[in-house]
Amino acid sequence: MMETGKRARWRDDYDERLGDALPPELPCLPPEMIREILLRLPAKSIGRFRCVSKLFRSLSSDPKFAKTHLDLSLRNDALRSARRRLVVSYKHLYTVSFDSIVDTSDGTRDLGAVEIPESPVMVNFVSSYYQDGRRIELVGTCNGLVCTTSEDAVTFLFNLTTRESKEIPGLREFLDSVSKEETFSAFGFGFGFDAITDDYKVVALVTGDVLNASVYSLKTGSWKLVGDSRYEYANSAEGLLVNGAIHWFALHEEDDRLVVVAFDLATEQFKDMALPDEAEDCAHGRGGFELHKLNGRLCMVYTCCENHDDFWVMNEYGVASSWARVRISVQYDSMKPLCSGKKEEETLMEINGQLVLCNFRNDTSTSLVLKDAKLRCIIEADRADTYIESLISPNSYGGV
């Protein structure tokens, strides 16, 4: 008791000597102001604050707050750039920040440390497939959600920032129930957001007498089949999300023309767009085209065992006459545009299995090196994509 009394008197004397130097108590901010502050923070930081108070936990778990936070990121160029990440699928899912790009003395650039997500579901799902020698494809990304599928059509949605996950159930069971007389198989998956109904949808092309799309709605938690007799074939590549629609190549039933076919996520209908008039099948006879996205615009690149030095960009969506050929100094047999760099004139590309920053204005390119030794390998185009960090939960919709 005597020792306790001495400590109390010492503290009082110390406070009296400090006088006005004592720091004032922090004001209690109103919830509305706290909300506005949190909206401007990165999603990962907000996640760390969940244990601070019930208010922080409530806000960070609120779907409306998550949508407002995402909308602010998408509308603000600086925030969108800071919250953009690269995801690479190689034995695990790895994410890389573009802010970690640094120049080196040998003319290349290094990408900083690769972050390995710690979600048990994510790690176990991806690593188990690689251990069995089976492939996992990155179907696509949308609003912070990453969609993956495996060779046996097991499909997952991941939020790599919050480490939440959701398995998309029952595609095989659904296809078996559609028809007992015909065997359906799924290929060419796509993933995107329907802004009209505020719903995320997974779309799988399905073999049959006509081109079919099997559509899964996160809101309803169910699949349905949509067919279109105008098309008889589509390529097996994963679908590309542009302008609210998922795109593949298909053959038109009337005249066997190769067209770009788009599945509109809002109307759930197919429409097609013509290829460039000057574009021809690969002269080497062993290749074709792939669809990609360059800074929000649809683009078309060759896929071939030989090298090419050009690709096509659709400058005005849906207008065939707006296709423009772009020539580059880099020879490629595989190429995938990923996104614009921190400098808008630079574009991050996967070229021949390497990450490259291309400046089309100056016709220059710079190689990027991933520091993590485990990723010093050839990066396949279908295993790399970009996404924006968000708080969107794959489990916040009504489906099971």
Structure confidence at residue 144 (pLDDT) = 92
User: 117-124 contacts: CB < 8 A, separation 24 or more?
Assistant: 117/92, 117/93, 117/158, 117/160, 117/163, 118/163, 119/158, 119/163, 119/164, 119/165, 121/156, 121/165, 122/93, 122/156, 122/158, 122/160, 122/163, 122/165, 123/92
Structure confidence at residue 15 (pLDDT) = 47
Burial of 236 (0-12, 13-18, 19+ CB in 10 A): exposed
User: Is residue 255 one of the residues assigned to a domain?
Assistant: yes
Structure confidence at residue 90 (pLDDT) = 62
CB 56 within 8 A of CB 38: yes
Sign of the CA dihedral with 90 first, then 93, 99, and 100 last: negative
Report the C-alpha gap between 205 and 190 in whole angstroms. Answer: 9
- 359 phi and psi angles, rounded to 5 deg: -110, 100
Which stretches of the chain score pLDDT less than 70?
A: 1-27, 89-93, 98-135, 179-184, 208-209, 280-287, 341-344, 370-383, 398-400
For 285-345, the DSSP string reads SS-EEEEEEETTEEEEEEE-SS-EEEEEEESSTT-GGGEEEEEEEEEESSEEEEEE-SSTT
Report the C-alpha gap between 140 and 240 in whole angstroms. Answer: 7
How many domains are contained in the chain?
1
CB 211 within 8 A of CB 270: yes
Report the C-alpha gap between 145 and 160 in whole angstroms. Answer: 7
Report the C-alpha gap between 130 and 380 in whole angstroms. Answer: 15
Rg of the chain, C-alpha, whole Å: 25
The per-residue pLDDT for range 12-54, each reduced to its tens digit, is 554 454 445 545 554 677 888 888 888 988 888 888 887 777 8
User: Is residue 164 one of the residues assigned to a domain?
Assistant: yes
Report the C-alpha gap between 246 and 188 in whole angstroms. Answer: 10
Scan for tokens 């609210």, then name that residue.
244
Closest CA to 294 of 345, 249, 256: 345
User: Is residue 138 one of the residues assigned to a domain?
Assistant: yes
Report the C-alpha gap between 368 and 372 in whole angstroms. Answer: 12
Chain Cα centroid distance, residue 274: 27
346: which 2 tokens?
Answer: 């630079």
Structure confidence at residue 314 (pLDDT) = 94
Dihedral angle over CA of 281, 282, 284, 286, nearest 10: -80
The secondary structure of residue 239, as a DSSP letter, is: P
Write the CA distances from 225 to 96, 143, 237, 397, integer angstroms. Answer: 37, 25, 19, 21
User: Is residue 232 one of the residues assigned to a domain?
Assistant: yes
Structure confidence at residue 18 (pLDDT) = 44
Q: C-alpha angle 235/240/241, rounded to 5°?
A: 150
Structure confidence at residue 373 (pLDDT) = 43
Structure confidence at residue 160 (pLDDT) = 85
- What is the extent of the structural domain holding 270? 71-388
The secondary structure of residue 72, as a DSSP letter, is: H
User: Is residue 6 one of the residues assigned to a domain?
Assistant: no
User: Is residue 7 one of the residues assigned to a domain?
Assistant: no
Report the C-alpha gap between 314 and 299 in whole angstroms. Answer: 6
User: Is residue 38 one of the residues assigned to a domain?
Assistant: no
3-class state of residue 219 by DSSP: coil
CB 265 within 8 A of CB 194: yes
User: Is residue 28 one of the residues assigned to a domain?
Assistant: no
Task: Give the domain CATH number at 328.
Answer: 2.120.10.30
